[in-house]
Amino acid sequence: MKFFILSAVLIGAGVGAMIMNASLGRGAFNLDVDFTGGISIRYDAARSDFNNEEIVNIVTTATSLNMAQVQRIVGTNEISIRIGELDTDERGELLNALNAFFPGGELLDMDVISPTVSGEMQRSAILAFSLACALMLIYITFRFKDIRTGGTTILGLVHDGLIVLAAYAILRIPLNTAFIAAILTVIGYSINATIVIFDRLRENKGLMKKSDNAELMNTSVTQTLRRSIYTSLSTLFTVVCLYFLGVSSVRDFTLPIIVGIIAGTYSSTCLVGPIWYELSKEKKGKKEA
């Protein structure tokens, strides 16, 4: 029960952050132009002695928008700027401000991301997650010949997805196309530890025929706990290194994965067992009735 309460508190904190951010007019999530529509600019600064904060200040002053995402393209003097929708005058003011700050600078490309495309991106994100969960439910149910196992696994994945969403809301991580890759990476990684536990549970059912479901699950989790922790730590170390050594776009991708790895390990070792036991107990009760 304490693990269920902890998960509820974490997810509730995410919901609270969404409500607070929405009430402050910042939006429940820090949506990138991929999801809201806007402008994507590629600009050649013609010099290298600048930092991203300076560009953000220029964009904010010229457009009055404070959610610009600036990325310096490694190995060049080019800048990638992604910002919300701008009218023709605002685009001109922004370009003039950049030219004034970078004498000799040049606009390389300016793309408009329409709300239609951003709406399609949102639908693709929801569809990708739903389809992945549905296919996993079918496969796991077929492999273990038990709908409870498939249902338990999917509940664990939904839990991990909600925790990652909570992290996006609380930490204000930009929600862009990398979100789809991050969420699918998290559920793909999370299911590994869960499958290992259920594989061991299936083996123990043949070896511990006199044991009840609680003992079977506890034994299976204990036997696979070290493997789950070591695997998660080895992956976590690599992703953490990418977070600290990578550029901002890499950090925006790796931070949700770090949260997802921790949440996936936690759900596999602490939540999947109790959920499966409760479902098994309910089924057993119906049979006795």
Is residue 241's pLDDT more than 70? Answer: yes
Give the mean pLDDT of 181-207.
Answer: 87
Q: What are phi and psi of 107, to 5 degrees?
A: -75, 120
Average pLDDT, the chain: 85
Work out the pLDDT band at 258, boundaries 50, 70, 90: very high
CATH 3.30.70.3400 residue ranges for the chain: 38-113
> Which residues fall within 8 angstroms of residue 29, CB to CB, at 6 or more apart?
18, 21, 168, 169, 175
Q: Which pLDDT value is given to residue 116?
A: 63
- Cα 225 from chain centroid? 24
Q: Residue 43: phi, psi to the nearest 5?
A: -130, 135
Please report the pLDDT score of residue 285 as a whole number. 47
CA 155, 231, 226 angle in degrees (round to 5)?
A: 85
Q: Within a 10 A sphere around the Cβ of 289, how many other Cβ atoms? A: 5
pTM, 2 dp: 0.80
Angle at 194 between CA 191 and CA 196, to 5 degrees: 110
- Decide yes or no: CATH 3.30.1300.10 for domain 38-113: no
The domain 2-18+117-288 is placed in CATH, from the list 1.20.1640.10, 1.10.357.140, 3.40.50.1100, 1.10.238.10, at 1.20.1640.10
Contact between 168 and 178 (Cβ < 8 Å): no
All CATH 1.20.1640.10 domain ranges in the chain, comma separated: 2-18+117-288
Nearest to 81 by CA among 116, 109, 118: 109
- Across the range 175-196, mean pLDDT stands at 84
The DSSP secondary-structure symbol of 204 reads: H
pLDDT at 175: 82
Q: Record the tokens describing residue 173, joined without a space.
A: 């991580």
